[in-house]
Structure 1
């Protein structure tokens, strides 16, 4: 039996036409992942069916939404490349409104939106497409329910707009790489007009990007005649389409002359004509007198033949740690086809003579020099020192927990790693709550209009024993707005930011709306608790003496936003799941990067809640950087780095000064150098927010127990989901059927809390916190000795 469509074509004929089209387009398909298509039709008809079956045939993933709300929600979840909206029935679906709502989102800039319009009768005039374009549509599709017509339309969009968007996204990645590249990159037009320079280029020559873009190279400050002659030589080479490489002298903006290793590559564009030149530049040392010019005779591969002209001969000798030496010149003369290896050895030699050195490099060089005249035993000991110094995690201890202590091993492993760096196999993608809320809830008009019960709870907010859970209860799980209003008012945040209280109120409301109330721990109550601890620390005299007004405002804002949109899962979970956030942030500080980025996105999205809108640009940039730095400091993988730097740069110098002052009979405070150093202020702010973030074990016992229950429940839920999804279990010990909560708290306090709060107490003088910490630790120990696995001891806890 043959199935006929409305135009009289059999299904067999349609399949034949589609098959021939696929054979022609098959080699052109760029992506392995299927195209995502969203169909927005108020009701099902032959037109929606035509697009549905066309998607099936083309191998696209297709979703259908019947209402504007579902359309927006579905798009924010899937980020479809193609969206088809029914424009034929305005009574059932406002197509323009749907299009505009989708276009208002950031991901839609990469999407193509197609309007399905009704057919125009032969006696009617053709309608203009401008209203569609103004509404945000890219294309118009005249009603045609033939599957082959729908198929052809989708295929044309893929090979047109969608492919172009893929290329644009790739370009964004390339420019991101260029922005972070350590080598100086300069791109010019064929007329040598500068079109792009990266930050490394700006740093090398001292010019800003604005001073360089649009300028011809000859407009920049000229050097001597030799430089001009060399420019002519370079131009002669690259105009022929060949790559030039060699040593070049340039002048910084300051007037200093610098020596660079330069590689200039012509870029051939349309019609085989050179359209751009790309220059890659590296500083070379003053000892490098080779002045070699490399001319590559093939412009299509870097591995082409190299003709070497050498005006000065110079040999480099590189000593290894066993006093053996290698003569680079003798190595490079071993074979006639080793010219590329020549270049690598010369580059290695130049690295060892660089004048711009990091402190750790200077230390290693000093130790290397000391080894030369040292006894064998000392030289071997210094070898071991060098092995340690060459690691990247100098401040992080090696994890060496006992095998019989799985609680500590799991807890530390789960918090201080970013997952297993692999997908779990089920391609689970975490995209919870992608539609971030800007809804306006009912909040007090001013701080003076706070409801009486809430105002009563806020009376003792300046004490450490403040009960955040009671505030959570009376505010219906919205403590952050109310506590934030009071604390920010006490610190004069509105005055500093030059914003109104209404703007601050709206901002606090938006931030709180984007915390997940469904999380047992990482919700707005936790954010309010961290804000409270931050404000408490900022009131301590020793802390106030070291931080300025900007630091305090940055700390309060960072505390407020530090976990916004937290999904209730750890970084390791997101990395193992291959989540969108993990992919976006390359499995590195995933959540912390998301919290800080989203906070600024939400703030800038609506002028009504933009607390930064009246700030001076320079001041805003400084404040923004401080906030981001503090939020990123809450990531646990660098916990020991932050704590050890604080101890060595803050605690020890202050202790030394106090010792000297006491011995001299003086009561002077620490020196202005220690107090006002920008680097030290950064370390203090990092330590402040880290301690505020995990201060639960230092709260009164009842609060400590409640927080322990909440974080345990969140870890239990994660383990449940990992098992359900077939993912790697990050912390196996957090199984709700077997876990001992007292043991997990003991491990957390032993490994993360005790040393950090001892150091913070030595600086900020917080005896009450240390007292609570000691008592709480005894409590968990007593439960563990009774073999109780729950939060409180009961008659059957030891069974």
Structure 2
């Protein structure tokens, strides 16, 4: 059977159709019968068909020369289609007759290979590739320039494109390759560059420019027919076959994009590589927010505590795990899901990927107290077991990560949803906080068990929760003493086991609103003599959160604490509570302000005034005003004023590393906080004219002193998460529930106190509230208006950079390398601080106090710092100088 290649000329040009001649490398033997069809497309005339034939007896000569000339230069493409059977060709070349590949269990049909040759002019190299394609039975086309090549590629979608890179006058080979790569959905084509032989055999040119342009391979010019056939066979069996399988993967992606289940794929390091639309519907997170982030196992209070260990144990063996778990949506809602985790094994049996399927599952219900108690017992047992085998090898999932860790990675957005978000969203985020305190786990287990228990068991567990939420679980409140109230035993026990007056157990007293009188000062203004008008104009805005403390610092010549302190103390009736004169209070404020170091960039009296303002703002919120008594409020104000007095502008770690006198005195424990609180009382008692405590009773003074010390010590950041955990579990959830109950009963009860309010007013709970209040006030700079936020960020960065400079100069360990002037990035440090410390804290505080303005500012400032960091990255800058922060 003969073969009949057809030559199609798409535009005018010169076409030479060869048979075998003596100077040709044509692979055809003389026994072939060939028929050539030439179609010349010329303008609107239509194609002209010319048929030429060569019989078996024809000698190998040039049989036809067709020339069509036109004024403008065009592109010539022609296609050779052999009518000789493909099987015969494969038999002649030894090519195996494989028409199917396997992609796992999927059969992938191998289509006929299409090849596009791009040569500006015909030469022996193009001829050799042409006859190699014919010999192998591949469909081949030839293009003369870039436009014709792109047009042909768009029409035929070739598997292989061979571009002549030896000549640069007619077209840019690398630009053509980039153009082909830019065509959407055709990225699977293999592109080969034909290059010249290196004139210097000792120096081989780099292939990197070709790879950067998008070429897959380089073929050094070689007109030997066998070399071209081998090159095409190698490409067929490697690059083309692999890319044909990749094209088949598009069908698989189309399938998983349209299933209802949520599908996620992670690499061996548990980083999310892909999530489908079903995942977005189930969790609320878009692929842009999660892809590239680290993925942890499902984490919820309702899951059994050995869940992570059970999953890790199974998948480490290369086996799948399936079960029902609880996880959180983006809005914080807890959802029950049925998940199937399958590890994907690669070479050597090593895990290369994890595929997880999720679907929503119905809630399971247990009935009767026996089942509920058994569930609680089982959960507790699992918790103990999980603690024993928590720390496994590095191949485990990170058990501290939630199902989707928004902070580290939040994507570019803050976790705050804005002040206008629904209150239940804030409460849900508190429920989903990633705090790993054991008491948190215990409380959450009980909460989960309560959901399906009968009322009598729920009430019993409520009592358990009330006990667990007390501030001191292991410190007994001595409401009665042993041995029938023997006075000797009672005095001995109280003397050994208590510190201070018995009034510290005032939580035993039933509190209600009628025993919380609010002082109304006789005058809303302080009696500072000769207050300048510009100072008074600023002080008039003191009740607002947007109060400009930096401007007050300027107009008071760096004495803002005195003026702001007198204004706030007058508003809260501090003189009446302390039973002291206003002159004494003013002298005390001046004394404290003098002991702040104005040379400090950050920890100076302006910072103290800023914390005092935030404290007063919080105390004025309805929720706080209805819970704290007047002594609590005065203690908070005094603690805010003196919480950083005599601060050296260096951190605790620096003082310990430097073996300072303060570190030695306080045994390296809460060094600065202990010093601030101790010095406050030393200064106050040193001069009777400044002693604001001298008219208090002994019991009142001891209680006030204890509260001030406790609040100042709470500002130590090493116990940040401990305080936050206690507040979130003991106060925030209870306060959120109480506010919902208030809203429900307000129209019927006239604002009567609920049991939740009475519980919040115990001394232990008021102590927790005061600790969180001063903590939020102390580090609230990122929640201030943007101009103030930026100013405070510059100041703290400068102070920390000064510490780093001194550490380097003295050869001390560098405590905070991020604040090295050579590498400091203020935006990144602010982003990290908000993510790590402020997110959960202000969520919990907002849920309890309702502070929408703080959340609004914090969200905007977070976005601002993210924008600054991204802009610096675009500019290729890793350092942000202080003067460059706008």
TM-score (norm 1): 0.45
Q: Which protein has the larger Cα radius of gyration, Structure 1 or Structure 2?
A: 2
